[in-house]
Structure formats: C-alpha cells, structure tokens
Amino acid sequence: MTESKLLVAVIATGGTIASKRDQTGAAKPSLTGEHLLSDISNSDVSLKPIELMATDSSSLTLLDMQTISDAVGKELANPDVAGIVILHGTDAMEESALLVHLQHRLTKPVIFTGAQFTADHPQADGPGNLSAAIEASVDPSNVGKGVLLCFGGRLLPAWGLYKRSTDKTDAFDLASNATCPDSLGFTGSVRNVRVDIVAIYPGCDAAHIDASLKAGADGIVLAALGSGNANKRIVEAIKRCRDGNVPVVVSSRVSEGVLVAGYGGGGGGHDMGAAGAVHSRTLRAGQSRILLAAMIASSKKMAEMIDAFGDFQKMAK
C-alpha cells in the first residue's frame, strides 16, 4: 500500500514570479499558478493551484491583502491541505505576510515566496524559490514559527521583515531579531480601514498629517528620522491627532535596528511619545501600517497598541 502524497495549496496572486516582458519591455503578471507549478518536480507532494489574482504587489490595496489573508484562512481550515504557499510580488510581500501572520492561528506551515527576476529572465529565480517554498510548507517544524518568507535561499519570519535590495536574489532581511507571538488571531477585517504613511524629513511641516486627518484616516504612521525623531511642528500635529482619536505610530526610515525614543528638544522621539504617539520598536513603516490597521479593525485599545508595537514584550512575560 502506497502512502498518499502531502497536499500543498499554492495561492497565486501575481507578482514578478508570474511575469513576462511584453513587446514594449514592460513586465506584467501573465502566468497562472498552474503554469508555474507545471515545471516543479517533487514526488513527495501533490500541488493544488489556486488562481486568486494576477496583480503587481505595488498595486495591492488593503482589500486585496485581506482577500489573500481570507484565502489562506480557507486553506488552513481544509484538513486535506498539509501546507500553504503564497506566490506574491516582492514590493509588498512584507505587508501581506504580516497581515496573514496577525490574523490566523497557524495549524500548518504558511510560506510566502516570489521572485526578483521575471519568468523569462535568463537568471529567473522564481522556480528555485517556489521549489524551496514547497519543501518548507511540508516541514512540520515550521508550524510554530509563524508565517515565513522563503526567498533567496533563506527562511525568514514575517515580523520585522523588509525588502533591502531591488536587484539581488537574496532581497529580504529583518529590521531586528525581535519575535512576535504566532497566535494573535486579530479577526477584524482591514478592508475598510485607512492608515496613511507620512514621511518625515528635516524641516518638514505637518501639512501631510493634517491632510490625512482631513481625508478621514483612521490611523497615521510616521516614517521618522533616526530612532524616531521629527520636530516641534510634528509634535503639535500628533496632539491634534490624539484629540481626534486618531492613533499615530512612529517608525523609522532607517532600515535596521531597534527604535529607542530617547531624544527631547521639543521634537524628538521622547516628545512625540509624550504627545500621544506610539513607538514602533521593530516594524518599519510598511509593516507598522499593517499592524495598526489590523488593531484598529479589531478594536484594540491604546495600551494594547503600545504593547504590540513594543514587540509584545508584556505578552511575552
């Protein structure tokens, strides 16, 4: 009697891994998940392609990311599926991966992957990444690690993930070695949540923050200087957000390292915290936006936000 093969659900969403260049030289998602899987040889697994969407991840909305997360949830609930792989564009890979991590209690491995080079590129990296992701998706030791990214020969957790290169096959890294609980279950849908990211730069004013407030933002993330610093005008704008019950999260435009809000002087990280902002210890702006949206959608309180953006240190205790 032969053993049945393990079934892996492969959710195709588009991205570079599914792209080829047209006559103008523009790369566009044009290959289905079934087509991408046709070249994969793994005698130990059966592959179930799910054609969810064919989109460049730079075009994804929170509605699209929620759709991806919902599709993962459906396969998590399917007892026949042993593991899940999501094919995704690299521009927003870290955001969708984090949303899935936040919204689901994993009972099987969930692996994101993609490519830096198109399918018709002479150095196409998609097939190698996909094969490795499938192997990772049937490794039971990966269940307790939360949502993972399999890319460029590495397996990285979703929490703190960021894209560090536009042209290298090993394109991702972690902002710090902080960890996140793998069983959060933020069940609120982010479909109708608006969280804006505002870039902070030397000498900036609060025009963009005020515009976000006027546009009806539910939350705002600041990509601040250094270890989460700005100026006095930004601090005053944070107070306006606080008065309007719009949470503000302060991240850093620096790629790596833990944010420590120690500077004063009227516009430093310490002053922004005193004005009501929440400091994101590890997550950079893109992922901070996802966490804030997920927490707003799940009606989390300010104390819970402070703990979450502080890498759940209280929860860990």
What's the rounded Cα separation, in Å, for the pair 304 and 294?
12
What's the rounded Cα separation, in Å, for the pair 188 and 195?
15
What's the rounded Cα separation, in Å, for the pair 261 and 284?
14
Q: Calculate the alpha carbon distances from 29 to 18, 41, 50, 317 in Å.
A: 5, 23, 15, 45
Closest CA to 264 of 233, 290, 304, 230: 230
Which of the following is catalytic: 13, 16, 113, 282? Answer: 16
Known catalytic residue: 24? no
Q: What is the token pair recorded at 269?
A: 């990280």
Question: Taking the CB of residue 51, how many other CB atoms lie within 10 A of it?
Answer: 12
Q: What is the token pair recorded at 271?
A: 């002053």
Please state whether 38 falls in left (phi above 0), alpha (psi between -120 and 50) or beta. Answer: alpha
- φ, ψ (nearest 5 deg) of residue 199: -80, 130
Q: What angle (nearest 5°) sits at the alpha carbon of residue 305, between those of residues 304 and 306? A: 90
| Residue 198 and residue 223 in contact, taking contact as beta carbons nearer than 8 Å | yes
| Residue 50 and residue 150 in contact, taking contact as beta carbons nearer than 8 Å | no
What's the rounded Cα separation, in Å, for the pair 169 and 108?
27
- φ, ψ (nearest 5 deg) of residue 251: -110, -170
End-to-end CA distance of the chain: 49
3 state SS of 139: coil
Q: Calculate the alpha carbon distances from 251 to 19, 58, 72, 120, 200 in Å.
A: 32, 21, 28, 37, 10
Active site residues: 16
